[in-house]
Amino acid sequence: MQKMFRTKYLDPDFRKNPKTDSYCIICQRDLKDGQSARLICYELDVYDAIHVDDWEEAADEIKARRAPHLESVVYGFIGGNCAKKLGLDFSKEISK
Ligand SMILES: [Zn+2]
């Protein structure tokens, strides 16, 4: 099925092992308190970030083509620099 929403591969660096639950999905570095971070939404296992304007639509579409009992999209954080590289329209500002 053709994707009707915009995605971008996150290309996570799995060589690193985050020590906390709050880490950047892309570079896998822990996010420190006060460090700028942004919220992203991506397809589980596939690591395709979804364009902010398409979050709801994409979640519905992905849910429709995956097994319904499985989680389809997940939310995570990325650091400020990684967010810039990815394109700011693929993440939302959060207050931390
Ligand atoms: Zn990062």
Q: Which of 53, 39, 48, 55 is nearest to 93 (CA)?
A: 39
- The pTM assigned to this predicted structure is 0.87
CA of 25 to the centre of ligand 1 (A): 7
- Residue 1 resides in a domain: no
Give the 3-state secondary structure of residue 13.
Answer: coil
CA of 45 to the centre of ligand 1 (A): 18
CA of 69 to the centre of ligand 1 (A): 30
Domains of the chain: total: 1
pLDDT, one tens digit per residue, over 2-22 is: 568 999 999 999 999 999 999
- Residue 49 resides in a domain: yes
Q: Which of 43, 40, 53, 44 is nearest to 83 (CA)?
A: 40
- The percentage of the chain sitting over the pLDDT mark of 90, rounded to a whole number, equals 73
Instruction: Name the residue range of residue 45's domain.
Output: 22-87
* pLDDT over 60 (residue 1): no
- Residue 13 resides in a domain: no
CA of 20 to the centre of ligand 1 (A): 14
